[in-house]
A and B are shown apart, each in its own frame.
Chain A
Amino acid sequence: DAGITQSPRHKVTETGTPVTLRCHQTENHRYMYWYRQDPGHGLRLIHYSYGVKDTDKGEVSDGYSVSRSKTEDFLLTLESATSSQTSVYFCAIRLTSGGDTDTQYFGPGTRLTVL
């Protein structure tokens, strides 16, 4: 599992409230990703990071922000949660060396419900 944990694993919140999801890795990987998984859509990239304080948008970044103040933690924030953000969120790291280059390892996921 490449030492990836996500917290919380489950969260129920109300529309309009801010929510922060945390991804933590223990193996000093440079690249980290946030995806959301929805039926019929597979996984869609929200944001990714290529180093401390270096982030970029994915295909569904509206309504989300991220921060990476240290290598091991990548935070995803929903500034004002909406029901359309009800989803399962996955964090991933990407390997960048040797034969495993570009392979991603995923965390266990966070199931978020916005009422």
Chain B
Amino acid sequence: AQSVAQPEDQVNVAEGNPLTVKCTYSVSGNPYLFWYVQYPNRGLQFLLKYITGDNLVKGSYGFEAEFNKSQTSFHLKKPSALVSDSALYFCAVRDEDNFNKFYFGSGTKLNVKP
């Protein structure tokens, strides 16, 4: 069964430093992968997705993600973190057999300190 895992419950980074939020996936075929962000008391917002093509995907708010098939990873990155990036981040994958279903990771809380 397909799934995604976010191994870190929390990531702490200083403002201005690069940040990485990790995601690994388990899919037998070619994965459709997504990153979403959730600010306090809000719904999730789409950041970026990987379907095919370049392994480096650029998204909203300066975020990018690197797809690595050999490591089955899709890590979210940003070269220079902002305090306003502090939020909960979710990785997600589309079901291989039923394209209408999606599976989300458990979430990673990003704390960016001034």
Contacts and interface: CB of A to CB of B under 8 A. Distances in A.
Given A1-B43, A102-B94, A108-B42, 16 more contacts: A33-B102, A40-B106, A42-B90, A42-B104, A43-B44, A48-B100, A48-B101, A56-B100, A59-B101, A94-B100, A102-B32, A102-B49, A105-B46, A106-B44, A106-B45, A109-B43
Contact of B106 (A31, A42, A105, A108): A42
A90 interface: yes
Contacts, number: 61
A50 B100 contact: yes
Interface of B: 6, 32, 34, 36, 41-46, 49, 51, 90, 92, 94, 98-107
Q: Is the interface of A mostly helix, strand, loop or mixed?
A: strand
B81 to A, nearest CB: 22
